[in-house]
Amino acid sequence: MKDCTHIYCGDGKGKTTAAMGLAIRAAGNNKKVFIIQFLKGSPTGELKILLQQPNITILRGKPNIPFTWNMTEEQKKEVTAYQTQQLKQAILHAQNRQCDLLILDEIMASYNLGLIDKDMLKEFILNKPEALELVLTGRDPADYMIEAADYVTEMKKIKHPFDAGIPARLGVEW
């Protein structure tokens, strides 16, 4: 049976949450899960639980980097090299059947900001192994991503506490 490609996109909350929920479900059914969280180097609450699971491997973004809008050109080059190396590792895991579920969290931001090898990513998505469930998260997926996907779920923000000046909260947003 062909495994599917999922996209969780949009400006609303819940993209990473949905992907991590799928990771837990897959790991609970003895599937091997490989997660890369692009542009996320700071610790978040879900990591404490996910890292305890024997079937889940997580790679994180380059630690101690500023938000993308505050990065220097040199930092952008470093992040691009770092993330491209992580993507290569994920592709090898997938091609060698070392994972059943691959989650590329915030890959769309990396793609849209030019902080990843775009050609390598496109080639992988369009030619992913059939025996691989693939999840892509972030805002503004490229047209080819939507075309290649089997599931596309858009999280739409209608209202968010941040808009009222309430900062991100421990245990809820991170």
Instruction: Return the domain boundaries, the chain.
Output: 5-138
Mean pLDDT, residues 87-92: 96
Look-up of token digits 């101690």 = 64
Sequence-ordered list of residues with C-beta below 8 angstroms from that of 52, at least 6 positions apart, any chain: none
Assigned CATH topology for domain 5-138 = Rossmann fold (3.40.50)
DSSP states of 100-152 as a string? SEEEEETHHHHHHTT-S-HHHHHHHHHT--TT-EEEEEESS--HHHHHH-SEE
pLDDT tens, residue by residue, 123-142: 999 999 999 999 999 999 99
pLDDT tens, residue by residue, 14-55: 999 999 999 999 999 999 999 999 988 777 888 888 999 999
Mean pLDDT, residues 80-107: 96
pLDDT tens, residue by residue, 47-73: 888 999 999 999 988 777 778 788 888
- Max alpha carbon distance in the chain (Å)? 47
What's the CA gap between 8 and 144, in Å, rounded? 15
DSSP states of 32-96 as a string? -EEEEETT--S--HHHHHHTT-TTEEEEEPPTT---GGG--HHHHHHHHHHHHHHHHHHHHHHHT
pLDDT on residue 151: 98
